[in-house]
Amino acid sequence: MDKLNLGVIGLGSRGYSVLVWLLLGMEDVNVTVVCDVYEDRARAGQRAVFEKTGKEPLMCLDYHDAIKAPGLDAVLIFTSWDTHAEIAIASMKAGIPVGSEVGCEYSLSNCQRLVDTYEDTGTPYMFMENCCYGKEELLATSMARRGLFGEIVHCAGAYAHDLRYEVAWGIENRHYRFRNYEHRCCENYPTHELGPIARLLDINRGNRIVSVVSLASKAAGLKAYIEKEAETKNVPEYMKTTSFMQGDIVTTILKCANGETIQLRLDTTLPRFYSRNFTVRGTKGLYEQDTNMVFLDGVHEDKYFDTVMSYEQFMNNAREYEKDYLPEVWKAVTPEVEAAGHGGMDYFVYRAFIEAVKNKTPMPIDVYDGVTWMAVGVLSEMSIRNNGAVQDMPDFTHGKWQTRPREDVVEM
């Protein structure tokens, strides 16, 4: 397979930008189908492909048509969260390998259906979690794999991203977040932080998430934001009267079969700067992504009782470990790759999918990973609704987590 015939389903902002900035620049990819329920978006995608390649891809408004397109080798899904599963299931049934963008899932049954369909059809499925290819996440994972942090006992991470503008004004741009924040309260986007943690902790490969507990703060951020917007802008009535269910801070704790805890924070409706804070804690040391800091027993010393002085001393010292521990692909990263999306990790995740389809090798982030991570969202919703009651994580591997081989997630 020299060139892969690819279908792109969903051409909102994420789909369109991955198409233009990544896929159209890849020499071994033909985008032969573009699909969106909104004709203007589908047409914009079609135009972008034509302008770059001189060839006009098939344009569809219905994904059922898209996956039937002749000669299609694989599809990528960039649609709204609540349509990822059904499109992936239809693709797998049609025998078309599928890469699904990240998001949250709404029901355990949809998670199970994804697994069942994969097991029934054998069609490859990849969950496109770009943060699994993040530079800091891979540096820290590489150090963990080489034992620098000792036995790992705890990891933490966050999706801390001020999305108030995107959520509040989202419907104007046909975005699905508004309705989610209106109707639901949960860890609605767990995978950016959980994905890399799960890989480091060998989840579904000798380890397993066994339970989820989640609590949400009150929802005050969006209301305050919209009130402030209304002082200077013409804010539509529906925005002013909507009351949002989604708590501003959702704290989730996962327990793993091997005794580790994982703490997640969803943090999207209060003022702050972006952070994922991938954090690794072991018997010999720690890594914290926010400050890109390493602290190793016997190497670094708690010289001060003053935490700020410690941060000033150690901040960004993880750079010193890149020479020995950063994966080769990141050492060789080009400015073009870094510019192509989220500092480079988008390129790596899409290349991983394309290589796996072309070479018929196992998907590096498979359906078991994807559904386990998304199920955290479902279980967090149930836990929050029950004041923090513990929820059991289903074993989507049917016991095979005990024997599925540990993955080398660092060397790509």
Closer CB to a second copy, 183 or 272, in the complex: 272
Phi, psi of 255 (to 5 degrees): -115, 140
Contact between 209 and 254 (Cβ < 8 Å): yes
In the complex, the smallest distance separating the C-beta of residue 147 from a second copy, rounded to whole angstroms, is 12
Shortest separation between residue 273's beta carbon and a second copy, angstroms: 4
- Of the pair 151, 328, the CB lying nearest a second copy is at 151
State the minimum distance, in angstroms, from the CB of residue 403 to a second copy: 22
* Tokens at 375, concatenated: 């199920």
Does residue 25 sit in helix, strand or coil? helix
Closer by beta carbon to a second copy, 237 or else 305: 305
Partner residues linked to 391 by β-bridges: 212
Taking the complex as a whole, the smallest distance from the CB of residue 300 to a second copy amounts, in Å, to: 8
CA gap 164, 270 in Å, rounded: 7
Q: Which residue reads 């692909």 in tokens? A: 329
User: Which residue from 127, 137, 250 is spatially nearest to 191, judged by alpha carbons?
Assistant: 127
Whichever of 36 and 260 has its CB closer to a second copy, that residue is 260
Residue 43: CB atoms within 10 A of its CB come to 14
Residue with tokens 């079969």: 257
b or e along 260-298 (b: 16 or more beta carbons within 10 Å of the residue's beta carbon)?
bebbbbbbbbbeeeebbbbbbbbeebbbbbbbbbbbbee
Q: How far is the CB of 376 from a second copy (least distance, A)?
A: 14
Residue closer to a second copy (CB basis): 122 or 271: 271
Q: Which is nearer to a second copy, 241 or 305 (CB)?
A: 305
* Cβ atoms of 206 and 402 closer than 8 Å: yes
The C-alpha atoms of residue 383 and residue 391 are separated, in whole angstroms, by: 6
Residue in the structure block whose two tokens are 């994904």:
63
Cβ at position 342, least distance to a second copy in Å: 8
Quote the longest CA-to-CA distance of the chain: 67
- Judged by DSSP in three states, 189 sits in coil
CB atoms within 10 A of CB 227: 11
The residue among 44 and 215 lying less far from a second copy, judged by its C-beta, is 215
Nearest distance in Å: CB 292, a second copy = 5
Q: How many helices (H) and strands (E) does the chain have?
A: 17, 14
CB 5 to a second copy: min, Å? 33
94 vs 270 by CB, closer to a second copy: 270
Residues that bind a second copy (CB under 8 A): 150-151, 153-154, 162, 211, 213, 215-218, 220-221, 223-225, 247-249, 251, 253, 255, 258-261, 263, 267, 270-277, 281-286, 289-292, 295-297, 300, 302-308, 310-312, 314-316, 342-343, 386-390
